[in-house]
């Protein structure tokens, strides 16, 4: 892992030149150290991350534009522009863009653990079952989707 250095990661650019396609979503890595990993994300309409658990990380999402419908700890909630979503480790959560517009947001996790490597490995993987299989090797446990998702 790298050591955090001072500087600016410009809008639309990543720390390492990579821009990842994860099942139709765009992830742009902005910072990565052993302690934390952050990325800008764009979720087109109809895209989602199925319910899953991070057993070794806390995750946060700052909503920049749009609306997410979420399943958080078994509850259905909504997050809008300007909201901060807090996803503690071991709490099941799923993220859904059910709107007609793109959602843009800023994610970060702490500690990084294996998530950065996971995104590298699932970039352009089109088969959701393969994504789930790879994720299991990187400390992410996917759960069955909620009814109507």
Nearest Cα neighbor of 42 from 56, 53, 28, 60 is 28
Query: In this predicted structure, what is the pLDDT of residue 3?
Result: 85
Alpha-carbon gap, residue 103 to 41, rounded angstroms: 8
Q: What are the average pLDDT values for consecutive 10-residue runs of the chain, which has 149 residues?
A: 87 94 97 97 96 97 98 96 98 97 98 96 93 94 69
For 55, the token pair is 């057993």
* Inter-residue contact 38 to 31 (CB < 8 Å): yes
Q: How confident is the model at residue 148, as a pLDDT? A: 58
Alpha helices, DSSP H, located in the chain: 115-122, 128-136
Within 10 angstroms of residue 49's Cβ, the number of other Cβ atoms is 20
Domains in the chain, start-ordered, CATH in brackets?
Answer: 20-140 (2.60.120.10)
**Helices 128-136, 115-122: inter-axial angle, 10-degree rounding:** 150
Can you give the pLDDT at residue 119?
96
């Amino acid at each position: 892992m790298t050591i955090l250095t001072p500087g600016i990661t410009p809008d639309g650019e990543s720390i390492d030149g990579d821009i990842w396609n994860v099942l139709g979503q765009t992830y742009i890595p902005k910072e990565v150290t052993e302690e934390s990993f952050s990325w800008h994300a764009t979720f087109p309409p109809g895209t989602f991350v199925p319910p899953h658990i991070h057993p070794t990380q806390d995750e946060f999402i700052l909503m920049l534009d749009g609306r997410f419908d979420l399943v958080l700890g078994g509850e259905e909630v909504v997050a809008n522009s300007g909201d901060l979503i807090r996803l503690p480790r071991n709490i099941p959560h799923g993220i859904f863009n059910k709107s007609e517009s793109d959602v843009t947001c800023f994610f970060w996790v702490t500690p990084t653990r294996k998530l950065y490597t996971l995104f590298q490995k699932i970039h352009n993987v089109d088969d959701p079952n393969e994504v789930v299989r790879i994720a299991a090797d990187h400390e992410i446990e996917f759960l069955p989707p909620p009814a109507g998702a």
